[in-house]
Chains A and B, each alone.
Chain A
Amino acid sequence: MANSVKNKPRIYYGWYMVATFMFIALLTTGARNAFGVFVIPMEEEFGWNRTTVTAAGFVGAVVAGLIQPFIGRVFDATGGRKVVLVGLIGLGVTLVMLSLTFHIIFLILMFGVLSSVAAGGVSINNTGAMLARWFRRRRATVLGLIAAGASLGGMVMVPFAMFLLQATNWRMTWVALGVLILVLAVPLAYIFIRESPEKLGLQPDGDDEPTDASAAGLSQRRSGPLEADRWTQPFRSWPFWQVSLSYMVCGSTTFMLSVHFVPYAVDRGVSPGLAATIMGVMLGLNVFGSLGAGLLADRFGRKNLLALVYFLRGSGYMILLLPGVFGLTLLSGDLGLWLFALILGFSWWATLPLTTSLTADVYGTKTLGTISGISFAFHQIGAASSVLFAAVLYDLTGSYTVPFLIVGILLFPAALSAFTIKERKYSTRYLTTPAVAAASGD
């Protein structure tokens, strides 16, 4: 025991993992988000129309959602390191291959299918599941950090791709994005990624080795009443459905917005420039939202904060829509849009660290990749269907008000669903055992 304390590293190895995953999230999410940069030059070169090119993005979003449970299963079965490395190499290679695009089928296959499958290997579901093994007390904080890295990726890599495209051409830009992943992210992942702290003789959070007296209690405390050894077990308990169905509403309320917000704001009489600025501010605030949510969740628990995030987001939608319905002129102008952007910006990615950490606390980490992958599939089903729903209702009513109002209202039951999760009963954060109490002298 004494030796283990004296030889304890100054910096817990888990923090190197966090830094590595933040960087991976920045590069991979950013590179995939840069797809929009390539739309116009590819349209011009091949004479494609907008619908044809963006079909690849649509296929990509659907594949990314549907593949995640299967990749999560492989991740859980193999420990995860190989999945992350293969995913990174696959993503880098497919991005380089996109420079050879000559036909729309090639683009859909390469970006929509292969690149999406590869990106699934390095998704935040998987990297978050691995970090959940390394951190228990600071679990939500580190998940917030990698979500912030992903969010930052869009802000850094998309403009980077724009300038690269201006200085070279779209083929060279795809090569550059792929090479960056292969040359920077793959070696970093190879050097730093380790599947669990136990493999390095460490404890989660960098804690000291447990004493003999507390070890028995600790092993019990790590396993909650709903700890899942098989990925099907959570289907028989309420928290999984409460988390996943509210996550589906989350997907519908954010994805619909990312697709339809600018046209909606323009319909409200705002200039396209101001609409884009408001959207940019909203996306920029994501970074602070995910960081803040992670920090607060480790201090105050997950489910109440998750409920609060959904409630605030629902209130944001009401602030956006109801003043127009009731003729409140002050909020029906730019001010309403800015208030909405502020609320949505902070709440956009905040759900990710809260949802994943809550799932890990309740169901443990053995099958977390699969369970998070299934929850993410719900999120993407909500996302894809909401975009279809909004498009259809827009074409029928000539306005985005009705679809926005419907998904906005759905956020309140989502908040209630999160709020009623029995976190204190099921989460390992709140479980104490007689052995632990005895060891701590209580």
Chain B
Amino acid sequence: MPWPIILSVPGHHGEAADPEMLAWIKQLLDHALGSAAWVIIAVVGLALVAFPVGLILFYLTQQRRDRVDSYQETGDGT
């Protein structure tokens, strides 16, 4: 098999996130959202931070409720 064909494979392969396509998507996003990059970074960044923090807080709240439930049931004479 000629080398140019083999070498063309990685050239094709990296395009799962094709740079040209990404550049075009970026243009589209700029058009739709404006080009205030820091605002978008802040919004997405906050959402990314909020998920784990929210999950941990939710878990702690539920644990507290479970303990209260368990205590009340024990207090009911069971």
Contacts and interface: CB of A to CB of B under 8 A. Distances in A.
Nearest to A11: B62
A391 interface: yes
Contacts of A259: 12-13, 15-16
B77 interface: no
Interface string A169-199: 0000000000010001101100110000000
A419 B35 CA distance: 50
Contacts of A191: 56
A388 B52 CA distance: 40
Contact residues on A (Cβ < 8 Å of other chain), bracket:
35 or more
Nearest to A51: B11
A158 B29 CA distance: 12
B16 to A, nearest CB: 5
A215 interface: no
Given A33-B16, A273-B24, A163 B11 contact: no
A439 interface: no
B48 A180 contact: yes
B48 A167 contact: no
Contacts of A61: 13, 16
Interface centre among B38, B49, B51, B65 (most CB of A within 10 A): B51
A81 B13 CA distance: 32
Nearest to B39: A163
A180 B48 CA distance: 8
Nearest to A13: B59
B48 A162 contact: no
Nearest to B23: A40
Interface string A237-263: 000000000000000000100111010
Interface residues of B, number: 46
A36 B69 contact: no
Contact of B22 (A9, A56, A162, A392): A162
Contact of A20 (B14, B55, B62): B55
Contact of A27 (B48, B56, B62): B48
A159 B25 CA distance: 8
B55 A16 contact: yes
Interface in A142-173: 154, 156, 158-160, 162-164, 166-167
A51 B7 contact: yes
Contacts of B48: 27, 180, 184
A53 interface: yes
A159 B41 CA distance: 9
B14 A36 contact: yes
Contacts of A16: 55, 59
A390 B55 contact: no
Nearest to B7: A51
Interface string A387-403: 11011100100000000
A58 B56 contact: no
Interface string B1-25: 1000101111111111111111111
Interface of B: 1, 5, 7-26, 28-29, 35, 37-38, 40-41, 44-45, 48-49, 51-52, 55-56, 59, 62-63, 65-66, 69-70, 73, 78
A-B pairs, 8 with minimum CB distance: A54-B14, A36-B17, A57-B14, A58-B10, A167-B37, A58-B13, A51-B11, A39-B19
Given A36-B14, A159-B40, 9 more contacts: A9-B63, A10-B69, A163-B37, A259-B15, A259-B16, A260-B12, A272-B24, A391-B8, A395-B8
25 contacts: A6-B70, A6-B73, A6-B78, A7-B73, A10-B66, A11-B62, A16-B55, A35-B17, A36-B15, A36-B18, A40-B19, A51-B8, A54-B13, A57-B13, A57-B14, A61-B16, A158-B22, A160-B44, A164-B37, A167-B37, A188-B55, A188-B56, A192-B55, A387-B13, A395-B5
